[in-house]
Amino acid sequence: MANVPTTAPRSSRRNFRRILHPDMTPMVGLGFLLVTFFLLASDFTKTTVLQLTMPVKRAEDNGPLCNLTDVMTIVLGKHGKVWYYPGLLREGEKPEVRITDFASTGLRQVLLKQKRESGKLTVLIKPSDDAKYQDIVDALDEMSITDQSGFALVDISKAEEEILRQHGL
């Protein structure tokens, strides 16, 4: 691995140090192996990102963006529970609130049924304070699975919190 000179001057009585000339060839090979490993490892770990497009607020358009009969409101609660009701909450009304979960026979079937009945469906997703981040991701996944073209993440109102508290939220 290293070149060591075998002959030393004979005329001197002092001990000479041997000068080592290390062979760097294995170190260069190891460096290339490490660079190759990290390039391949970073190429295999691509991150996956959920596409989320939020609408742009327009100042000149104050009218509703959709027909109110084609709206479904979904409220995400604690323990992976989903409360939903058709339409929007209007002043003085108490909608019929139903409960489901994120199973394939739960929210997915509700969305597919409502989409078949109304044609174009707009879903309002409202996470409560007790909802976890995973619940929001699961709800967005269900929107992608059921091919919903119109959905939005919306803050929950105080009136909705009160109605849902009456239903056991």
**Dihedral angle, C-alpha 64, 59, 159, 97, nearest 10 °:** 30
8 A C-beta contact, residue 74 and residue 133: no
For residue 136, the tally of other CB atoms under 10 A from its CB is: 14
CATH for 68-166 is 3.30.420.270
Please, which residues have CB within 8 angstroms of residue 17's CB and are 6 or more apart in sequence? none
Q: What is the pLDDT of residues 46-60, one digit of tens each?
A: 777 767 666 666 655
Q: What is the pLDDT of residues 94-147, one digit of tens each?
A: 778 888 888 888 888 888 888 888 778 888 898 888 888 898 888 888 888 888
Among 41-45, 73-77, 110-114, 144-148, the range scoring the smallest mean pLDDT is: 41-45
Q: In Å, how far are 27, 29, 77, 89, 123 from 41, measured between CA atoms? A: 21, 18, 39, 51, 40
